[in-house]
Amino acid sequence: MKFNKFMIVVLMTFALQGCLTEPDLKMPFRNFTPENLNDGWEISTPSAEGIDSLGMLSVFQDFHNDEDVWQVRSLSVFRNGKLVAESYTKDNSDKYTPRAVWSATKQVMGILVGIAIENGLIGSIDDRIENYLPQKLNSYPDKKDITIRQLLTMQSGIDFDNYGLSGDDSQILQQIPDNLLDFILKKKLYAAPGEDYKYKDSDPQILAAILEKITGKSLDVWADEVLFSKIGFSNYEWKKYRDGSTLGSFGIMTTPRELAKIAQTVLNGGIFNANRVVNENWIAEMVKPDVEAGDKHFGYLWWSYPEHKTYFMSGNGRQLAFVFPQNNLIVVITSETNLQGKFNLNTAVGRKFGERIAAFCD
């Protein structure tokens, strides 16, 4: 009888352990063959585009199996303007369901400023913002001398706090301020404009307000006219603030394939499918390293690792689109979107996946 009770306890223990076992954080790797979604991407294979298939296989297997990168959701590879490989670690619907790419929106803003200059809407990036928002800046005279360039390089000097539960970004996400632009311009200057780099969402948001003012249109509408519709960027949503302004720092939701269209346009020097949509000189200036930002550099709202010969888009949680121009290669990595601090995928770790793929290119 005691033996039976013991067996019951053992069986119950194993049963409970089975119930308490955590689910796998990532789906097992199956293959990296892309599905043709008729979304504007030509489908090819690694070998056809000069990438070693076995080498690529090892990267994708590690991407799925490495428990240290539990945050990742997708890995996609584009070479010679074609989609050659993709795999999804959490949900296969990510390939066509838009998800927040957060601050990768800033890199779109960088392109849009270049288009505004080319169209004569902005005279120079060294223009003061007072030229474009004169009535608004009358109420904030300490901000009048901030230039477009300083907004593009996060050197406005505005004391805006991106971080923390009580930070300025948190208030914006909760849509607490009545007017988004006033909320930003009311902030004090912690440094004179142009003196110091500080990553902050205030600067691209001012750029968004300027673009809406000079175009007379909602930013998402104008962006579709001059950029998105010309590159087939259609599977997206661009969020707005409750005052009606378009969120210029983190408002876009889209897919890895669509994000790659932005990166491909930049890789091609402003051309997509043989159509020029952005001035090539602007593209070259935009991705050029301008200010040091830790182990990275920052240009006109674009990130770069000059020593690793890559520039890239990046959003919170790590929504990444790495461009390796010497290899005519784009590597897109998406991750869980609502992570903070140490829980974010490390950008350098994402870069190393891209570098491994670049090493297998002939």
Q: What percent of the chain has pLDDT over 70?
A: 94
Residue 90 lies in a domain: no
In a domain, residue 290? The reply is: yes
Whether 19 maps to a domain, the answer reads: no
Phi/psi of residue 31, each to 5°?
Answer: -165, 170
Q: CA-to-CA distance for 236 and 258, rounded, in angstroms?
A: 8
Specify whether the CB–CB gap between 297 and 290 falls below 8 A: yes
Any domain includes 55: no
DSSP string, 143-195: GTT-BHHHHHTT-S-B-----STTSHHHHHHTT-SS-HHHHHHTSPBSS-TTS
Q: What is the dihedral of CA 172, 177, 181, 184, to 10 degrees?
A: -70
| Burial annotation 139-178 (CB, 10 A radius, 16+ → b, else e) | ebeebeebbbbbbbbbbbbbebbbeeeeebbeebeeeebe
Task: Give the containing element (helix H, strand E) for 319.
Answer: strand 319-324
pLDDT the model gives residue 163: 87
Looking at residue 233, its pLDDT comes to 98
Give the chain's domain count: 1
Identify whether 20 is part of a domain: no
d(CA 317, CA 315): 6
Residue 331 inside a domain? The answer is yes
| Residue-number span of the structural domain to which 167 is assigned | 99-359
The number of C-alpha atoms within 13 Å of 166 and in the hemisphere containing its C-beta is 0
How confident is the model over 168-227, as pLDDT tens digits?
999 999 999 999 999 999 999 999 999 999 999 999 999 999 999 999 999 999 999 999
Residue pLDDT, tens place only, 141-156 = 999 999 999 999 999 9
Mean pLDDT to the nearest integer, 135-143: 97
* Single-letter code of the amino acid located at 175: Q
Q: How far apart are the first and last CA of the chain?
A: 71
HSE, side-chain direction, 13 A CA sphere, residue 102: 20
Q: What is the pLDDT of residues 69-93, one digit of tens each?
A: 999 999 999 999 999 999 999 999 9
pLDDT band at 16 (very low <50, low <70, confident <90, very high): very low
Q: Is 265 exposed, middle or buried (0-12, 13-18, 19+ CB in 10 A)?
A: buried
* Average pLDDT over the chain, rounded to an integer: 94
DSSP-based three-state secondary structure for 99: strand
* pLDDT at 324 exceeding the cut of 80: yes
The pTM of the full predicted model, rounded to 2 decimals, is 0.93
**For residue 116, which of 228, 229, 250, 212 has the smallest C-alpha distance?**
212
The single-letter code of the amino acid at 3 is F
CA separation for the pair 251, 247 (Å, rounded):
5
Residues 6 or more apart whose CB falls under 8 angstroms from that of 179 comprise 243
CATH number for the domain that contains residue 265: 3.40.710.10
Tokens of 111: 């392109």
Q: Write down the pLDDT at residue 339.
A: 82
